[in-house]
Amino acid sequence: MTFLRLTVVEMRRALHRRLVRWMVVIAVVGCAVTGLVVFLSSADPVRFAQDEGHPARMANWWGSGGDDFLTVAALFLVVGAAICGASVAGAEWRAGTMTTMLTWVPSRVRLHGARTCSAALLAFVISFLIQVLYLASAVPAVAAHGSTAGTDASWWAALPLAMLRISLVTSLVAVLAVSIATIGRNTSAALVVLAAWALVIERLVAGFWPRLARFMIAENVAIVVRWAKLSDVKFERPPIVALLALVAYLATVVATATTLFARRDVVTT
């Protein structure tokens, strides 16, 4: 089986996982609910006039500063990618089917590489499509109650680029989750590690040693998504450097996961 065909097979297997399907369904329902809330909350002209950051003003979708409408979606997409990525790799160990898989694909490196690539591709495509649906849910509110003021040519050029960067970050998180789940051979272990690192360790480091914040994943992700230097921090880091840092971190974790998967006994857990 060629690597390309194996990657396609892994993509199909991932899409058939119940958790992945339910996460997509939840995302679609969430988009619909968001659209309804945006529409109803913009119907009152007095309250709408007081809310300058309301997403019924299309310019607030992206580039308005602070928590843009699209940035909120990015947070949920990253969390979803972590959960689904960890499940894709971890569930195989929990179900005890890894030995069966290696019967069909004896090359462990090729199998792990195909699974990693499939997670990256699926996360990127699904993330972009959900963003399209998410923004489309606010169109009725914009058309009925809102405004398109401030959405010039440069804004329309920046919006799809922002969506692509968010999709890229989502893809990187999915690959990271797959790799950590492979190292720990458990879905829960991967999620605990990711949560502990993002919510505890990085925040402690950034709080006690602000100069080290430039090396933290969260800060680098924020720079890449914005593709601009952060204004509320005590360091300067160009976006391209932040992106290269994230890729380097991820490459290290992927290489570690691949090496361990190639050498460990898959029978014992």
pLDDT in tens, 202-246: 889 888 888 888 899 999 999 999 888 887 777 888 999 999 999
Mean pLDDT of 68-85: 92
**Among candidate residues 37, 33, 40, 74, the one with its CA nearest the CA of residue 222:** 74
The per-residue pLDDT for 266 is 65
Asked if residues 113 and 12 have their Cβ atoms less than 8 Å apart, the reply is no
Residue 221 falls inside a structural domain: yes
Which band of pLDDT confidence, cut at 50, 70 and 90, is reported for residue 47? confident
In percent, how much of the chain has pLDDT > 70?
92
**What is the C-alpha separation between 195 and 189, in angstroms, rounded?**
10
Residue 269 lies in a domain: no
Decide if 199 contacts 107 (C-beta within 8 A).
no
Residue 252: the pLDDT is 95
Residue 166 structural domain: 3-263
| Residue 118 tokens, joined | 């499939």
* Tokens matching residue 225: 């998504």
Cβ–Cβ under 8 Å, residues 222 and 68 = no
Nearest to 19 by CA among 100, 72, 86: 86
Single-letter residue type at 151: T
Does 97 map to a domain? yes
- The tokens describing 159, both together, are 């919006």
**What mean pLDDT is reported for the chain?**
88
Q: Indicate the pLDDT class of residue 63, thresholds 50, 70 and 90.
A: confident
Q: What is the pTM of this model?
A: 0.91
Q: Which two tokens stand for residue 250?
A: 């991820």
Residue 269 has pLDDT above 50, yes or no: no
166-176 residue pLDDT tens: 999 999 999 99
Q: What is the pLDDT of residue 68?
A: 87
Q: What pLDDT is attached to residue 64?
A: 62
3-class secondary structure, 147:
strand
Domain count, the chain: 1
Residue 268 included in any domain? no
- Asked if residues 234 and 216 have their Cβ atoms less than 8 Å apart, the reply is no
